[in-house]
Copies of this chain bind each other. A is one copy, B any other.
């Protein structure tokens, strides 16, 4: 390991024959220092290539200008976009982002949170793993005085700040659109129901059916079809029925919808003519499949910014932290070819 001596405020003080405290003040742009000495100090700081030591500064101030992020997977479009949005705002505020991935494992998630607590981050931003069973690790963070913002996949039993999509509305809009296109037997591929986002999407599906007086058929509701492979498997089963569905709403993701599309095409179904398909999340690829897939955009980057804004504008300065605000972002239905039975767009 290389050893390297970096210049400190004492080095500057010594060189100028002044007190280190004056140097500190000047560098922090305090008003209690004359313009002349301030200028001199800044100049020599530049000369000596001085860099503030955040470890010392943070230790002294008792706070760490860092926000920890825990997501299931960094390399998933939705999450990397949220992180991109987050980074933009935190960077402007002079904060750093420490990023961890739980890989959808609860155990790993607990370890990540543990690490972030040890790092004394100011805030933890988290989207819980699919294995979520309890929130002890998050309560622990709160007990240590760390702010907590849950987003997208939130634990409803835990009262914290939350930034979510209106999943019920997103699903409702999607299914309403499907119905309006003349589809009647609409299957639902649902995600693990321990996660509220998937429960809400199912609720939106059911509300849309009810409101448009379309009967709910239990045999068309497939549990746990939330990956491309599971979506494909579910589709093989659905389309082999004597009376198959005429539309499939892959409420979990566009990946699942892609699995549906591939199997349907293989099995000779015409999309959208004999089978309508709708996904969720507006992954980049959903626009370029053949046909393009109707989906729901979650404004992921905007979500990241909203999380950061929530922290910097409300939480950080808050004196009363008993009111936990929930920010809900309205998703947007992206109507594409895969559901356009009536008006075929080229």
One of A75-83, A239-247, A274-282 contacting the partner = A75-83
Residues from chain B with a CB closer than 8 A to the CB of A54 are 118-120
Contact pattern, A 31-57, Cβ under 8 Å of B = 1, otherwise 0: 000000000000000000101111110
Give Cα distance in the complex from A144 to B7, angstroms: 10
Minimal beta-carbon separation of A142 from chain B (angstroms) = 10
Indicate if the CB atoms of A74 and B84 lie closer than 8 Å: yes
Residues from chain B with a CB closer than 8 A to the CB of A63 are 1
Give Cα distance in the complex from A74 to B59, angstroms: 30
Indicate if the CB atoms of A55 and B120 lie closer than 8 Å: yes
Check if A175 is an interface residue, CB within 8 A of chain B: no
Give Cα distance in the complex from A232 to B294, angstroms: 24
Query: What residue in chain B is nearest A94 (Cβ atoms)?
Result: B115
User: Are A4 and B83 also in contact (CB < 8 A) when A96-B119, A119-B54, A288-B258 are?
Assistant: no
Partner of A96, one of B51, B115, B147, B321: B115
Query: What residue in chain B is nearest A261 (Cβ atoms)?
Result: B288
User: Are A55 and B52 also in contact (CB < 8 A) when A97-B98, A316-B1 are?
Assistant: no
Q: Tell me the count of chain A residues lying within 8 A, CB to CB, of chain B.
A: 56
Minimal beta-carbon separation of A151 from chain B (angstroms) = 16
CB contact list, A96-155 vs B, under 8 A: 96-101, 112, 115, 117-120, 140, 143-145, 147
Check if A194 is an interface residue, CB within 8 A of chain B: no
Residues from chain B with a CB closer than 8 A to the CB of A30 are none
Indicate if the CB atoms of B49 and A143 lie closer than 8 Å: yes
Query: What residue in chain B is nearest A108 (Cβ atoms)?
Result: B91
User: Are A64 and B75 also in contact (CB < 8 A) when A4-B145, A284-B285, A288-B258 are?
Assistant: no
Give Cα distance in the complex from A58 to B64, angstroms: 13
Contact pattern, A 266-307, Cβ under 8 Å of B = 1, otherwise 0: 000000000000000000110011100000000001000000
Check if A87 is an interface residue, CB within 8 A of chain B: yes
Minimal beta-carbon separation of A125 from chain B (angstroms) = 13
Partner of A3, one of B73, B120, B145: B145
Residues from chain B with a CB closer than 8 A to the CB of A140 are 49
Minimal beta-carbon separation of A147 from chain B (angstroms) = 8
Residues from chain B with a CB closer than 8 A to the CB of A80 are 74-75, 80
Residues from chain B with a CB closer than 8 A to the CB of A98 are 66, 96-98
Check if A6 is an interface residue, CB within 8 A of chain B: yes
Partner of A288, one of B83, B289, B321: B289
User: Are A87 and B115 also in contact (CB < 8 A) when A2-B321, A56-B59 are?
Assistant: no
Indicate if the CB atoms of A99 and B101 lie closer than 8 Å: no
Pairs across A and B, CB under 8 Å, 11 listed? A6-B144, A49-B140, A51-B117, A51-B120, A51-B144, A74-B87, A80-B80, A97-B98, A97-B99, A284-B285, A290-B290
- Residues on A facing B (Cβ under 8 Å): 1-4, 6, 49, 51-56, 58-59, 63-64, 66, 73-75, 77, 80-81, 83-84, 87-88, 91, 96-101, 112, 115, 117-120, 140, 143-145, 147, 258, 284-285, 288-290, 301, 316-318, 321
Apart from A1-B316, A2-B321, A91-B115: 14 A-B pairs, beta carbons within 8 A: A6-B145, A51-B120, A53-B118, A53-B120, A54-B119, A55-B58, A59-B59, A74-B87, A75-B77, A80-B80, A88-B101, A96-B98, A98-B98, A285-B285
